[in-house]
Structure 1
Amino acid sequence: LLALANGDRIKDKQRSRNSFVVDMDKKLAAENLLEELSSYHGAIIRQMKQMVDVYIKLAELETRREDTNKRIQLPREIRCLRQLELVPVVTATVPIDCTCQYNEGSFPYFKGLAESVMVMNGINAPKVVECFGSDGHKYRQLAKSGNDDLRQDAVMEQFFGLVNTFLRNHRDTWKRRLGVRTYKVVPFTPSAGILEWVDGTVPLGDYLIGSTRNGGAHGRYGIGDWSFLKCREHMSNVKDKRIAFQEVCENFRPVLHYFFLERFLQPAYWFEKRLAYTRSVAASSMVGYIVGLGDRHAMNILIDQATAEVVHIDLGVAFEQGLMLKTPERVPFRLTRDIIDGMGVTGVEGVFRRCCEKTLSVMRTNKEALLTIVEVFIHDPLYKWALSPLKALQRQKAWKAQKMNTKGTRMLNVH
């Protein structure tokens, strides 16, 4: 309700301010509901509004470029909020009670935020903050504000959760422990919100490439191979991209299988984690394919260093929006050489293929329920789900121009 009520709360300096669509009817309805609830749950609504306002200020906090990858002190107006005993930690998992009887101590409430945050690398400079819960735990969270609409990430996580429910209820997929790793996404405005920090994970790009100093796994194990920077340079300089790609493949061998050799030293443990990785890739690939999930570069896929499962983040490019990018994404999911290398000698055959089939089978069986959720997404006035009229016109003109060029070439060949 608070997110809907804040539907028009977008920073004036936001570069893509005009791309966020505000449903004023929903905003007014949410405000009326909050006003009605305040009459008999005033303390809860008041504390929740205080917490949301602080999180929005944190997400929109201005930082300098030199603050990247450093800790900065939070302003007093953010640090001073303490002891909201009626508000749970937003990224904590609270078991649902069908009787709605949540007694004291049944959930960790918000005790406050740490005095400093870590500013992460990125266009919008997201901040990693620690939230103190009444249970004594520190909940790491990512405060994000910028051009990405976190409402899209939130509904995608809801979809993943529904798919996981169906996978758990089917014998074959439950036996294989198939599922998509999820995390909490809590939008407070169209452009600001909080995400659960997935502890114990590392982006595939960080493991494979690392920094320019160490070169990651490719630098450690790719003896005699080209460096990542040389591969990028070669791809950009050579006119024939197919030949350039083949040359890069010959001189830049996959190394992801070393991830399991480094971390899981016992043979049985190594086999178990490699199996978990393959199953996780299969399930997430099929679910991502069904919803048209794009932008799956190596920094948007995390791998859990304890379980070897993959976690997909940054879910803003969905429903085949990747086809509308300057360089269209024509692949249904990420299945590059390094991804396959982690599966072992059988590659995509065997475990991966069978798990893909089982996942798709369960989704097909429950297609009515899944389509109901997807239709809600489609008819929701979040304009970014669809192709804008301007982009559609540009796309149509490009398609017509390509068609005319092809037709002209054929006529020249005939004559």
Structure 2
Amino acid sequence: MRGCLKDLPTYQWFIVLSQLVSRICHQNEEIVRIVKHIITSVLQEYPQQALWMMAAVTKSTVAARRDAAAEIIQAARKGSRHGNDNGGLFVQFAGLVDHLIKLCFHPGQAKARTINMSTEFSALKRMMPLGIILPIQQSLTVTLPSYDQSKLDSSLTFSTADHPTIAGIADEAEILSSLQRPKKVHSSCFFGSDGSHHPFLCKPKDDLRKDARMMEFTAMINHLLSKYPESRRRKLYIRTFAVIPLTEDCGMVEWVPNTRGLRHILQDIYITLGKFDRQRTNPSIKKIYDQYQGKMPDEELLKLKILPMFPPIFHRWFLTTFSEPAAWFRARVAYAHTTAVWSMVGHIVGLGDRHGENILFDSTTGDCVHVDFSCLFDKGLQLEKPELVPFRLTQNMIDGLGITGYEGVFLKVCEITLSVLRTHKETLMSVLETFIHDPLVEWTKSHKSSVTEVENPHAQRAINNIKARLEGVVVGVGAAPSLPLAVEGQVRRLIAEAISHKNLGKMYIWWMPWF
């Protein structure tokens, strides 16, 4: 590692910053010293980007992690390569993070739909404008050069050389209703120095380190997909967005524009067809479930009583949203591609809670965008009503794929994606293994005593499941086969489990397997 310190440019260390940060409490003192030195050099070279990525560890509930982060930031301030201005940046940043954490946990007035930022957060308003970059995807994403860039300005390794800074914040923050009450999610809007508005979700009571690692994982997958002719020709990719953990139980998520949830899209179409009533339909479905539960197999109940009430109609959204034939075709292909890629990636990492509000669709491209990764690493299998399907492939999701259903483009892209994932399993595991060294709060009952790294059984189990899936073993749905499957066999098996009425019939009622 000492040799690499001299030879590797700093941007290459920035790419693995989260892996380095997860090891700041390693048991070996010499390794800790080298890791701290590397992180310090990254902070000095890229203070704007690295500070956002370090925010959560500076507020860690583990004293050793918190103290190590404070030591690194202090060293970076002293040895800054960007002049004396950086001292002010570090102080500004610490103040901004404190205000944003308060905003995440602000309860809001009873029955109020907004928070008045001018009165409730006047100190935050007075801080504006700031010389801190907006934590948006384009500013935080490093671009790997395909040639020797050692002689060029290191700032060019980011997607744009001139990043918008925080010029102001809106006078009001909207309070959004959330399924996980009493959690209140706030939507705040930053004004950028580029003249644009940048909305963010402020989420309390949620360990967003999962979401942040998931975005790193998908960014790595996008890089791998771009290297293979089969996936590059089809322009396969996953839509990513910035996730900023501020502490171990709150953070900010960049708003994804032009998107709407699957449930709202389908509900609106069913209403226009007279198949759905906001007041009556859901209570009547609950009544049917209560009436026949235990008297009829779950599979029969779904197939005979519920599905006939909701004929598949998702294809209509493409017809109405993309009225020009060429645009309609592009959107349908984009939908098939992005849904297939997400299905495979979601299964590999054990992504659950794929109800109709966590799967969004872009009204300008047809892309499928997944949000909310709190139910990661097979957590869905531990719910009161376990989530038995490997990904969402309900009748409407199939309807959107066109005449060939899941047998056409969807199947082919699933095979290509899974093949790429399995080929690069070691690379992908390196991103996820951060959870072994810095486990989630929900995995650590007495995390305050975790001074040094101790192998966490929950983290190890999650990593082992992902490794098994990347080797062709179907884990988490039905009975796992005793031998690893080929890519084609694994995909076929997963699709069969996803469309199984037996599995869908056992899902939690408001996951809405009929949508």
- Give the TM-score of the pair, scaled to structure 2: 0.67
The aligned residue for residue 70 of structure 2 is 31
Residue 232 (str. 1) matches residue 289 (str. 2): no
Q: Name the aligned partner's letter for residue 352 of structure 2.
A: G
RMSD, aligned α-carbons: 2.5
Partners of 1:256 and 1:342 within 8 A in 2: yes
Partners of 1:91 and 1:195 within 8 A in 2: no
The aligned residue for residue 57 of structure 1 is 102
Partners of 1:2 and 1:30 within 8 A in 2: no
Q: 1:288 aligns with which of 346, 369, 374?
A: 346
The aligned residue for residue 199 of structure 1 is 257
The aligned residue for residue 220 of structure 1 is 272
The aligned residue for residue 307 of structure 2 is 249
Partners of 2:187 and 2:200 within 8 A in 1: yes
Q: Distance in 1 between matches of 2:126 and 2:328?
A: 47
The aligned residue for residue 194 of structure 2 is 135
Q: Distance in 1 between matches of 2:104 and 2:275?
A: 43
The aligned residue for residue 330 of structure 1 is 388
- How much does 1:79 deviate? 2.1
The aligned residue for residue 212 of structure 1 is none
- How much does 1:6 deviate? 0.6
Q: Distance in 1 between matches of 2:173 and 2:284?
A: 35
Partners of 2:137 and 2:240 within 8 A in 1: no
- How much does 1:384 deviate? 2.9
Q: Percent identity?
A: 34
- Partner of 1:318: helix, strand, or coil? coil
The aligned residue for residue 262 of structure 1 is 320
Partners of 1:222 and 1:255 within 8 A in 2: no
Q: Distance in 2 between matches of 1:338 and 1:309?
A: 15
The aligned residue for residue 72 of structure 1 is 115
Matches within 5 A, 1:176-191: 176-191=234-249
1:142-162: per-residue Cα shift (whole Å, max 9, x none)?
11112x211111111111111
Q: Distance in 1 between matches of 2:319 and 2:64?
A: 56
**Where in structure 2 are there 5+ consecutive unaligned residues?**
1-53, 81-85, 144-148, 447-455, 459-515
Q: Distance in 1 between matches of 2:334 and 2:100?
A: 36
Q: Distance in 2 between matches of 1:284 and 1:326?
A: 25
**CA 1:118 to 1:237, structure 2 compared with 1: closer, same or farther past 3 Å?**
same
Partners of 1:219 and 1:227 within 8 A in 2: no
Partners of 1:120 and 1:128 within 8 A in 2: yes
The aligned residue for residue 363 of structure 2 is 305
The aligned residue for residue 18 of structure 1 is none
The aligned residue for residue 16 of structure 2 is none
Q: Name the aligned partner's letter for residue 130 of structure 1.
A: C
- How much does 1:262 deviate? 0.8
Residue 145 (str. 1) matches residue 204 (str. 2): yes
**Where in structure 1 are there 5+ consecutive unaligned residues?**
9-22, 210-215, 392-415
Partners of 1:140 and 1:197 within 8 A in 2: yes
- Partner of 2:339: helix, strand, or coil? helix
The aligned residue for residue 41 of structure 2 is none
**CA 1:112 to 1:207, structure 2 compared with 1: closer, same or farther past 3 Å?**
same
Residue 172 (str. 1) matches residue 230 (str. 2): yes
Q: Distance in 2 between matches of 1:390 and 1:106?
A: 44
**CA 1:224 to 1:117, structure 2 compared with 1: closer, same or farther past 3 Å?**
closer
**CA 1:81 to 1:89, structure 2 compared with 1: closer, same or farther past 3 Å?**
same
- How much does 1:100 deviate? 2.9
- How much does 1:387 deviate? 10
1:285-335: per-residue Cα shift (whole Å, max 9, x none)?
000011110110111111111111111111011111111111111111111
